[in-house]
Amino acid sequence: MLLISWNVNGIRACRAKGFDEALRAWGADIVCLQEVKARREQVEDWNPEDMGYHVYWHPAERPGYSGTAVLTRRAPLSARYDMEGHTGEGRILTLELEDFFLVNTYTPNAQRELTRLEYRLVWQDAFRAHLTALDAEKPVLVCGDLNVAHQEIDIARPKANRRNAGFTDEERGKMTDLLGAGFADTFRALYPGRRDAYTWWSYMGGARARNIGWRIDYFLASHRLMPRVEDAMIYPETEGSDHCPVGMRLIG
């Protein structure tokens, strides 16, 4: 089973830059999108249902902001939106499949000058509780833009970014806590020493061309799912957003 996750930074803009072609080329079983920045009816003349996908859409209440979506060939048993105490921004979309939960998420950014760091940390604690509750029922796959470079190997310039949003000690600590609650970073588990593997680049200064990036997009898996994880991939050659897609192959 091939799963893809991509922060598209606006699905309408990304479609104008080749999203549809990438979707057809992948032929993926499940595609999770973050930062769609649109309601479903605003994405005109787009019918992934014609490609065999069931479409689940979770926009933010604020127009042109945040939002998540999942395209899946496997009809889920149920769909859940948001988590208790944190609604309105379309950041969490949970599908229950036969043998695992799939959680697509767009984690809040701490923002410049860390103006939203306090909320981000509260959100992280609630998200960890959400995942562990699901994991008590059946295994969990988590994907999306987690807005944190966990280790120094996951960022091109760790010293220069030490107190910037996405690389604060507090955010990295919350990621450590999440992994310690029974989850694995699939890419780093399979490729512990791989460097220069990034998923987001600033639009400034030709950062992408020079590969001055951050790895902030992930697939996480419950530990008991890891024997089924065949591979974890990053697709830096796929453009259309300031993020690139990430993927994983799951046996069965």
Catalytic residue set: 106, 145
Provide the greatest CA pair distance for the chain.
48
Q: Which residue has the tokens 């470079």?
A: 149
182: left (phi over 0), alpha (psi -120 to 50) or beta: left
- Quote helix, strand, coil % in the chain, to nearest 5: 30, 30, 45
CB atoms within 10 A of CB 62: 12
Distance CA 195, CA 185 (A): 15
Joined together, the tokens standing for residue 197 give 């593997």
How many CA atoms does the CB half-sphere of 176 hold within 13 Å?
A: 8
Joined together, the tokens standing for residue 23 give 């979707």
